[in-house]
Amino acid sequence: MGRFVVGADRDQATLFPPCLEDWITEDNPVRVNDVFVDALDLGSLGFEGVEAAATGRPGYHPAALLKLYVYSYLNCIPSSRRLEREAGRNVEVMWLMARLSPDHKTIA
């Protein structure tokens, strides 16, 4: 192709990303979100479900969903359906949520 920058072959098998930690830089704002929510005492703030129930289907921890909500507000993502898509394709959200991908009904 001469003097053009050529992209990678789309048929080449890769393990993307090999480690999520490698894709999130030390100064990425998503790290602040993670540390901030982890530092909160959600039980004293009135969040329900901080202690896991002994019966029923396991739910998402409120801290994980709060991290997702804070991320959505900081990045202007108002839609629960769009947040669901971001959790499956955005490396920052994958890192923040530890690869959890709640559906839009859970997010809403």
Poorest-confidence range of 5-9, 72-76, 77-81?
Answer: 5-9
pLDDT of residue 17: 60
Is the Cα dihedral 108, 72, 97, 52 positive or negative? negative
Query: Would 105 be classed as within a structural domain?
Result: yes
Q: Which domain holds residue 69?
A: 31-38+60-108
8-23, pLDDT tens digit by residue? 676 777 766 668 888 8
pLDDT value at residue 9: 74
In a domain, 49, yes or no: no
Nearest to 34 by CA among 101, 106, 96: 96
CA–CA gap between residue 77 and residue 86 (Å, rounded): 9
Q: Would you state the pLDDT for residue 5?
A: 55
Domain assignment present for residue 53? The answer is: no
**pLDDT for the residue numbered 22:** 86
Q: How many structural domains compose the chain?
A: 1
Question: What are the strands, taking DSSP E only, across 38-86?
Answer: none
